[in-house]
Amino acid sequence: MRFLITAGPTREPLDPVRYLSNRSSGKMGYAIATAAAEAGHQVVLISGPVNLPAPAGVTIHSIQTAQQMWETTRELLRDEAPDIAILAAAVADYRPKFQHDQKIKKHQDSLTLELERTPDILGSMRQPFNFSGLLVGFAAETENLIANAMDKLQRKHCDLIIANDVSGSDTGFDTDQNEVILCFPDGRAETLPRQSKHDLARNLIQRLTALAFAIDKPSS
């Protein structure tokens, strides 16, 4: 099968030397890409800036901003026609409205930044991108985990949301372990035991390929 995976943070520039970003390490998305390639699948990975080695057998498209990730995703959906899309990137939801050409100098005592929304890649997958394969999103939440994840699943027409609680310090962002809850369109929520991101990735690839066959979503 063909997989499209997004991973890592995005960086939203403010001036030539500063940007807004987040704590994502990209480990979960890279582990999923590695597991998919090891299982013999064809994998394209759209990656924000991370400090991780390129997984063997995976084609990587490096981007910086949410806008670039959105455009690259649109192009690869058209060119690669993936069967399964897993959007694991921690995309910045807002970016500075104005990008300064020169480094901002500290002339003032305070500085107010005006931010605007970035494009929602997961929310664009069905429309306008017309992706009809198996669509998997992540939900990083600090409260009302399952309710928020189920809401996201409905709004963005996903087949699965992988929800994780990022309120603690030992699972979620920039860690090697993860404890997630799988949220399905029929309202079912299944908690997976805490495990390494590599074990979780292998487990997810097995489940997703089975799910894709079961609901006959593959386009080939």
> Minimum distance between the CB of residue 151 and ligand CTP, rounded to whole angstroms?
8
Does 120 contact ligand CTP by CB under 6 A? yes
Structural contact between residues 35 and 207, judged by C-beta atoms closer than 8 angstroms: no
Find the shortest distance in angstroms from Cβ 37 to ligand CTP: 20
**DSSP letter string, 73-135:** HHHHHHHH--SEEEE--B--SEEESS--SSPPP--SS-----EEEPP-HHHHTTTTT---SEE
Provide, rounded to whole angstroms, the least separation between the CB of residue 122 and ligand CTP: 4
Q: Which segment (14-22, 114-122, 170-178, 195-203) binds ligand CTP by CB under 6 A?
A: 114-122
Residue 152 contacts ligand CTP per CB under 6 A: yes
Q: Measured between alpha carbons, how far is 147 from 139 in angstroms, rounded to an integer?
A: 11
Residue 3 binds ligand CTP, judged by CB under 6 A: no
Does residue 74 interact with ligand CTP by CB under 6 A? no
Q: Which residue carries 């495990």 as its tokens? A: 195
Residue 22 among the catalytic residues? yes
Task: Of 46, 59, 60, give the one whose Cα is nearest residue 10.
Answer: 46
Q: In the complex, which residues of this chain contact ligand CTP (CB under 6 A)?
A: 6, 66, 87, 89, 91, 93, 118, 120-122, 137-140, 152
